[in-house]
Chains A and B, each alone.
Chain A
């Protein structure tokens, strides 16, 4: 899956989201004083040292971030949320929704100079899903694809097992799903991972492991999506420097060694936003935080208890305290960034501890000195979370708010993969959990809330909900999909398997010496390919 839905950091990595609704609609373009001209080097930090740039084999969000500039995709997601042409200039669905035919743009060439054909895209996708490639994510992305045809150099036909309404959006991934240059693949063999070649705006120039990846402008690039400026990038180079520590990233930016920061810690937003030396961007991010209830615990099988937990959460206080105010209270099962987010979920459970206590009493719980009891025995729940911010803060807030309605908890914080193992084993009662997802909400809902989903740790299994998600995924019509997604969210809010808390906001900052950088409000991404040096 795309953004490693539970990646360790909040970085927005992936280029595949459709979001028609965003909470913040700011200007899309930074005003330019003088027209752009070619030149300049733009330096961004990455937290993790990239290990491979062989697209289907990548595992790190930072690898996808870099790779997304080396590659391109058939489709792109425009700042207004529409799916627009990129490498394909048009596409058609068969009436039964089971065949999707792309017409590839003429004149697209690989970094080697070799023209890119539909056959190359077919070979790429076939390699992506080949079990021998062992791609962790691409097989999920292309799960609906049964077979691929390329009858001529410009026609690509995807035959699907079932209609896949999210496919056009899923395909908009210039990192994981970029066309692979067959000549580079045969030239480098296993070392292709260090010598990737695709059709993106930048090409790999130098890679110093542990230090930096330097990309150079692709002078031939003239096939960008309509929201990018036409022609090759203005920047000579785009450099990614490995800087593991967030404090060191901040210092590097302030010293001028970095041109931008993709993840400004919330406590530094104000100083950057107010400083005229910088361009500051903020947007609702793809990451949501929530209280996961273990539905194998009989207590949580009672809807009234789940509702009580929801009423007990003071989301305003949580946003103010754990996110320095840089978040939005959330009731839908995914971020408001995503396409199909329904405002009707908002305030579904407004903070009401009185109501929570009442619901718990109705569910057969009694109070002894303010502590919840069931059949004469006090209730204490195991609350697990991850051992870093904001999880540790959130866990304490949730603990305090649950205590307000008499639910006592003990907190244990684990390092991320250990906490996931606990969740998977069902070894918890409640968990402060999180995932980040910036693509088709149907796929993530299937993963986190369906019994077969690999992220379904709470044991939620509601056949009505599952049917709606399945119907949504196999529907192609955008209008019907919109209606279905609304019903899915209504069902979620009614049944509340989780208590959603908040969606995180992302702050990004760019040195004032650069203009043209724009924020794609549909994906939350900074579109660095449009940057140029301020003259």
Chain B
């Protein structure tokens, strides 16, 4: 029931996202017919013809209504640049972005958890402080800058990893690391705080008093109970990383939707941009729902009625 209600809530969110995207594209200005041709010289007659072909000579509300009706039917239209259906392009390109975001999220979560737990068990030590400072540094470093730095180190100087593209796991290493570098500190801080709290509880003391090994105490008793807030933050992080992936993709020339989106925005390819935003927000909504549902798996006390 809970899941159904959550899914029903998608509808107004979707409509809101669709209308907002539609409006934003028209507010940023610039003539799409002109932008579509890279800002090149077109005769006035050709411009007028392009306007007509793209339906830009119709009233804005008519355009909006047409877009919404089509979107509800699952028809995202055709890219103005290539004439190919937007849905087909997204199906082709989105997996690259998801792959990167998931790899970044996985790596970032593992790193963050590990570092957070270590920092919590050695609270106040110099290692704890070093981890705190380190996480602040990586949280502040812009992804594209870190990306270029990694490229020069691992591709140009050492020649270990490919500089661009999406061929094999090697090309995923650096972009995922860049994403993880911004995600891990967030997870580490929440994990550290959660663990510190749990480690002070009675049942941890009891577990230790029973003579259980420190590892079992930490992993089975403490971490399990500290997982809830971590899961929340990981779920939220996914949205951030999806956004971050768009920029990282540019630096590492991955064929995901980031590269697609940037080019579509410059070309004012409205159907493409609207499709990308709708698609991304849908994925985001679904993942958030899955995270919520996962709470009950981790913590049996939580039941959604």
Residue A23, interface by CB 8 Å: no
A190 close to chain B: CB less than 8 A: yes
Decide: B155 and A255 in contact? CB cutoff 8 A: yes
Q: Is the CB of B89 within 8 A of A255?
A: no
Indicate which residue in B46, B83, B165, B250 contacts A211 across the interface (CB closer than 8 Å).
Answer: B165
Instruction: Tell me, rounded to whole Å, the shortest Cβ–Cβ distance linking B66 to chain A.
Output: 20
Query: Contact: B30 with A418, CB < 8 Å?
Result: yes
A418 to B42: give the CA distance in the assembly, Å.
15
Tell yes or no: B2 within 8 A of A by CB: no
- CB of A52 within 8 Å of the partner chain: yes
Within 8 Å by CB of B44, from A6, A57, A208, A454, lies: A454
Can you list 23 A-B pairs with a CB-CB distance of less than 8 A? Answer: A3-B40, A59-B40, A136-B37, A140-B43, A209-B92, A210-B254, A244-B253, A247-B148, A251-B148, A251-B152, A251-B163, A252-B155, A257-B163, A415-B266, A416-B266, A417-B34, A417-B268, A420-B31, A421-B29, A435-B41, A454-B42, A454-B43, A455-B41
Determine the distance from Cα of A57 to Cα of B81 in the docked complex, in whole angstroms: 10
- Residues of chain A from 405 to 442 with CB closer than 8 A to chain B in the complex: 415-418, 420-421, 424, 435
- Other A-B pairs beyond A52-B81, A134-B50, A210-B93, 7, CB < 8 Å: A51-B84, A136-B46, A242-B255, A248-B251, A252-B164, A416-B35, A417-B39
Q: A245-B253, A415-B30 are in contact. Are A210 and B163 (CB under 8 A)?
A: no
Whether B256 is near chain A, meaning CB under 8 Å from some CB there, is yes
CB distance from A166 to the nearest CB of B (A): 16
Query: Does B47 interact with chain A (Cβ within 8 Å)?
Result: yes
Q: Do B83 and A59 touch across chains, with their CB atoms under 8 A apart? A: no
Q: B77 to nearest A CB, angstroms?
A: 15
Number of interface residues of A (CB under 8 A): 52
Contacts of B163 in A (CB 8 A): 248, 251-252, 255, 257
Across-interface contacts of A60 in B (CB, < 8 A): 38
Contact indicator per residue, chain A 225-250, by CB within 8 Å of chain B (1) or not (0): 00000000000000001111101100
Is the CB–CB distance between A6 and B259 below 8 Å? no
Q: Are the C-beta atoms of B166 and A417 separated by less than 8 Å?
A: no
Query: Is B253 a contact of A59 with CB atoms below 8 Å?
Result: no
Taking a contact as CB atoms under 8 Å apart, the answer to whether B253 and A190 are in contact is no
Q: Which 9 A-B pairs have the closest CB atoms?
A: A4-B40, A210-B255, A417-B30, A417-B35, A51-B82, A5-B41, A418-B30, A51-B81, A243-B253
* CA A469 to CA B84, docked complex, whole Å: 41
> Bound state CA distance, A48 and B148, in angstroms?
19
Q: Does B36 contact A (CB under 8 A)?
A: yes
Q: Is A139 an interface residue (CB 8 A)?
A: yes
Find out whether the CB atom of B39 lies under 8 angstroms from the CB atom of A4: yes
Residues of chain A within 8 A (CB-CB) of B92 are 209-210
**Chain B contacts for A251, CB-based, 8 A:** 148, 151-152, 155-156, 163
Interface members, chain A 179-233 (any B CB < 8 Å): 190, 193, 208-212
Is A417 a contact partner of B81 (Cβ separation < 8 A)? no
Within 8 Å CB of B47, what residues of A?
454
* Complex: A415 Cα to B29 Cα, angstroms: 9
Among B40, B250, B252, the residue within 8 A (CB) of A1 is B40
**Bound complex: CA of A130 vs CA of B276, how far in Å?**
33
Interchain CB contact under 8 A, B260 and A447: no
- A4-B38 CB under 8 A given contacts A211-B255, A242-B259, A420-B31: yes
Partner of A52, one of B35, B83, B156: B83
- Expressed in whole angstroms, the minimum distance between the Cβ of B27 and any Cβ of chain A is 11
Contacting residues, chain B, for A6 (C-beta < 8 A)? 38-41
B166 to nearest A CB, angstroms?
6
